[in-house]
Amino acid sequence: MNQTPALYELMGAYFHQDWALDAADEWTVVDSFVDGEPDLAPLLPAEVEWALTHFTSETDLKRYILDDLGAGYLADWNGTTYREWLTQIADRVRKATA
């Protein structure tokens, strides 16, 4: 059973390997997810919290995001951790769906 269907959809379908060809930046991708997935978007902040609690090391969290969920975005290319990036995403989605 997939514990994180909203996070799975965001990472695999929106942050696919060619995401940069479709969007100006990563925040445009997140906003597109919120607009395009009105049923899933409100679930995302809690799923991010689950992932952050479940994967305590940065290595395990990165592996989950890239390998298990299929994301093509490398959060650490500019010095951001996956934990920080996911927290920022959750905050943005929470505000957009409030």
- Summarised one tens digit per residue, pLDDT across range 21-31 is 888 889 999 99
Give the residue-averaged pLDDT of 47-73.
95
Asked whether the predicted pLDDT for residue 81 surpasses 60, the reply is: yes
Q: Which residues contact 49 (CB under 8 A, 6 or more apart)?
A: 90
When pLDDT is cut at 50, 70 and 90, the band that residue 1 belongs to is low
Q: Span 50-57, mean pLDDT?
A: 96
pTM, two decimal places: 0.92
Work out whether the CA dihedral 12, 40, 89, 50 comes out positive or negative. negative
pLDDT > 90? residue 76? no
